[in-house]
């Protein structure tokens, strides 16, 4: 058994490296303008650390040490390319490169480089899968094996996704920059969506046997907290952090002792994490303080989560407010999934009848065709209206559609219950 | 990702009477900002001297109350940091960085404990 105070030299060095990795990659990308090359140079710096630190000890500023090594190699590389470019020019072709001055890294520069890395990893030229993989790799510091485990896909698949993503960024000449122009809002939205997607994959696993994969939620929450600290003026960034803090606060209560999912109405609210609830409220306050206009989509979702957080019992839930918030969200970002959520809130505020009308209005949406929550919600409304035979069919269909084994059991149970009624 | 509580203990008798230097406060502020930007820091604060503290003790079914300062303990808690880290190794690395911003004449112990979740 390894003593906690004396991690092996390699583990201690890897820990430091993982902590510094995003900043090293960001600083080097500024020089080489290519995240793929930057990542390789960062790995080279790790090899140098593994060779030297066991004898010399970990330096006082390990991040600066790693960055210096990696940058030095980056500058060499750029110079070699320049020589190469000169040779090319002689035969009539050109290559644009610049060698930056070796300036010491001020905290603001580090933050700026990190933000550029965030916007690059979440760039819309990449597929959503590539964005999540690259973000977890470059900003979360996760290895490909960890990412593969988290998403239940083979490791080579993840490795390939990352390689392809880096190639795409290079071939499409994606600029290493923080967008400040008219596309900033959309680009920031893309970043927030990537983090939310990572969280959700852990929170409501779309596949596999576990109801929850907490590690993925925690990685996403950490990213959201990092972003909120890096972009304190952006209301939607605080709003995303707020939403995730609220969602994460319910983790312990969402799973029963046997690992089966526990629905919101049955959760023991004493098991909600008070610290995370408080952080959710604080982050939502920050979002509101930073906001000059109407609340954005994440602020509205965080406000819904806050309604649940403020209810000591399920019976005290302010469903009317939640229905209103979902109405605002639908107006802002029309989506059948949001309408489904609104229907649930309306069913609690005004009864299953009006809610069924909302569901039936979106039931034909192609995006919901294989979405298990549509028959699941519809089944519940039919059950409450006493239409048990129809309810049973809906629950059975929902059980067929879900990729999550735990949820399938739950839905089959409800179908059986409806058959017996 | 476990949460860790770092209990920062100092010997009040030998700690500098004038408190932390402005330079130390500056370095400390920068470090705390760095730990926050890493998404690790959940909460941190310093405590007022133990002279202003009170101990409430329960033994044999009876309460007893003692005013500070608590001179019989060499080190008393002077602050805390609550962090969420991948593992103990990461918590220790941040803790070492916290200690290294202090000048050499400081004697500080950080007791890093994992928070029991459940």
Q: Is pLDDT at A227 greater than 80 in this prediction?
A: yes
Is residue A87 very low, low, confident or very high in pLDDT (cuts 50, 70, 90)?
low
| Partner-chain residue, chosen from B36, B88, B118, that has the shortest CB–CB distance to A4 | B88
Set of chain A residues whose Cβ sits within 8 Å of the Cβ of B40:
222
Size of interface A-B (CB pairs under 8 A): 52
Q: Is pLDDT at A376 greater than 80 in this prediction?
A: yes
Q: Does A35 touch chain B (CB under 8 A)?
A: no
CA dist., res. A303 & res. A309, Å (int): 10
Is residue B118 very low, low, confident or very high in pLDDT (cuts 50, 70, 90)?
low
Q: What is the reported pLDDT for A203?
A: 86
| Partner-chain residue, chosen from B38, B42, B89, that has the shortest CB–CB distance to A226 | B38
Is residue A90 very low, low, confident or very high in pLDDT (cuts 50, 70, 90)?
low
Q: What is the reported pLDDT for A94?
A: 42
Q: What is the reported pLDDT for A258?
A: 83
CA dist., res. A220 & res. A217, Å (int): 5
Q: Is pLDDT at A205 greater than 70 in this prediction?
A: no
Q: Which residue of A has its CA nearest to B40?
A: A222
Please name the residue ranges forming H helices in A250-387.
Answer: 274-290, 297-310, 319-332, 336-350, 352-362, 373-384
Is residue A3 very low, low, confident or very high in pLDDT (cuts 50, 70, 90)?
low
Q: Which residue of B has its CA nearest to A248?
A: B1
Asked if the Cβ–Cβ distance from B39 to A18 is below 8 Å, we say: no
Q: Does A1 touch chain B (CB under 8 A)?
A: no
Structural tokens at position A61:
């500023």
Q: What is the reported pLDDT for A99?
A: 43
Mean pLDDT of A268-295: 95
DSSP annotation of A306: H
Q: Is pLDDT at A97 greater than 60 in this prediction?
A: no
Is residue A206 very low, low, confident or very high in pLDDT (cuts 50, 70, 90)?
low
Q: Does B11 touch chain A (CB under 8 A)?
A: no
Computed over every residue of chain A, the mean pLDDT equals: 89
Q: What is the reported pLDDT for B14?
A: 84
Beta bridge partners of B8: B79, B110
Q: Does A198 touch chain B (CB under 8 A)?
A: no
Please name the residue ranges forming H helices in A91-233.
Answer: 107-121, 128-138, 144-151, 155-171, 184-203, 214-230
Asked if the Cβ–Cβ distance from B118 to A16 is below 8 Å, we say: no
Asked if the Cβ–Cβ distance from A7 to B90 is below 8 Å, we say: no
Percent of chain B clearing pLDDT 90 (strictly above): 85
Asked if the Cβ–Cβ distance from B86 to A7 is below 8 Å, we say: no
The whole-angstrom distance between A60's CA and the closest CA on chain B is 8
Q: Where is average pLDDT lowest: A92-106, A266-280, A349-363, B101-115?
A: A92-106
The whole-angstrom distance between A291's CA and the closest CA on chain B is 21
Q: Classify residue A194 as exposed, middle or buried by CB count within 10 Å of its CB (0-12, 13-18, 19+).
A: buried
Structural tokens at position A56:
């010399």
Mean pLDDT of B19-28: 94
Is residue A5 very low, low, confident or very high in pLDDT (cuts 50, 70, 90)?
low
Is residue A347 very low, low, confident or very high in pLDDT (cuts 50, 70, 90)?
very high
Mean pLDDT of A207-229: 85
Percent of chain A clearing pLDDT 70 (strictly above): 92
Q: Is pLDDT at A367 greater than 70 in this prediction?
A: yes
Q: Which residue of B has its CA nearest to A58?
A: B93
Q: Is pLDDT at A100 greater than 60 in this prediction?
A: no
Task: Please report the DSSP string for A41-72 in residue order.
Answer: HHHHHHHHHHHHHHHH---SSHHHHHHHHHHH
- Give residues with Cβ within 8 angstroms of A24, minimum separation 6: A42, A45, A63, A66, A67, A70
pLDDT tens digit string along B54-71? 999 999 999 999 998 987
CA dist., res. B75 & res. B107, Å (int): 10
Q: What is the reported pLDDT for B47?
A: 94
Q: What is the reported pLDDT for A88?
A: 61
């Amino acid at each position: 058994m390894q003593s906690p105070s004396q991690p092996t030299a390699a583990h201690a060095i890897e820990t430091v490296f993982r902590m510094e990795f995003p900043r090293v990659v960001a600083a080097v990308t500024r020089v080489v303008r290519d995240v793929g090359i930057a990542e390789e140079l960062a790995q080279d710096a790790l090899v140098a650390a593994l060779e030297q630190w066991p004898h010399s000890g970990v330096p006082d500023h390990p991040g600066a040490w790693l960055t210096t090594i990696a940058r030095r190699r980056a500058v060499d590389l750029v110079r070699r390319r320049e020589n190469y470019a000169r040779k090319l020019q002689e035969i009539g072709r050109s290559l644009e490169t610049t060698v930056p001055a070796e300036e010491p890294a001020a905290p603001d520069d580090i933050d700026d480089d990190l933000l550029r890395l965030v916007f690059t990893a979440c760039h819309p030229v990449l597929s959503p899968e590539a964005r999540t993989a690259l973000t977890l790799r470059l900003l979360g510091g996760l290895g490909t094996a960890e990412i593969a485990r988290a998403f239940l896909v083979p490791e080579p698949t993840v490795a390939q996704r990352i390689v392809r993503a880096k190639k795409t960024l290079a071939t499409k000449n994606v600029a290493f920059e923080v967008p400040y122009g008219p596309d900033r809002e959309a680009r920031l939205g893309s970043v927030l969506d990537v983090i939310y997607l990572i969280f959700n994959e852990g929170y409501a696993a779309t596949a596999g046997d576990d109801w929850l994969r907490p590690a993925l939620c925690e990685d996403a929450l950490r990213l959201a907290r990092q972003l909120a600290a890096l972009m304190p003026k952006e209301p939607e960034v605080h709003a995303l952090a707020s939403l995730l803090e609220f969602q994460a606060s319910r983790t312990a209560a969402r799973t029963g002792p046997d690992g089966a999912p526990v629905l919101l109405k049955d959760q023991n609210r004493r098991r909600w994490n008070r610290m995370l609830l408080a952080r959710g409220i604080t982050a939502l306050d920050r979002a509101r303080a930073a906001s000059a206009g109407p609340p954005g989509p994440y602020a509205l979702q965080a406000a819904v989560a806050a309604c649940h957080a403020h209810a000591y019992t399920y019976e005290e839930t302010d469903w009317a407010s939640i229905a209103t918030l979902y109405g605002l969200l639908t107006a802002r970002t029309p989506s059948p999934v949001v309408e489904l959520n609104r229907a649930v809130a309306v069913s609690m505020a005004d009864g299953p009848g009006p809610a069924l009308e909302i569901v039936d209005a979106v039931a034909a949406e192609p995006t919901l065709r294989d979405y298990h929550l549509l028959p699941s919600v519809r089944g519940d409304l039919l059950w409450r209206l006493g239409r048990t035979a129809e309810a049973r069919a809906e629950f059975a269909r929902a059980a067929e559609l879900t990729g999550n084994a735990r949820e399938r059991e739950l839905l089959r149970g409800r179908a059986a219950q409806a058959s017996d009624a | 990702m476990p949460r860790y509580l770092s209990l920062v203990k100092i010997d009040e008798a030998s700690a500098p009477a004038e408190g932390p230097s402005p330079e130390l406060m500056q370095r400390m502020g920068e470090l705390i900002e760095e730990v926050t930007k890493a998404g690790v820091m959940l909460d941190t604060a310093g405590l007022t001297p133990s002279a202003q503290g009170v101990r409430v003790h329960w033994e044999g079914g009876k309460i007893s109350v003692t005013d500070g300062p608590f001179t019989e303990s060499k080190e008393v808690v002077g602050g805390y940091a609550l962090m969420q880290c991948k593992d103990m190794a990461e918590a220790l690395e941040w803790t070492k960085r916290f200690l290294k911003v202090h000048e050499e004449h400081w004697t500080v112990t950080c007791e890093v404990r994992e928070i029991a979740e459940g």
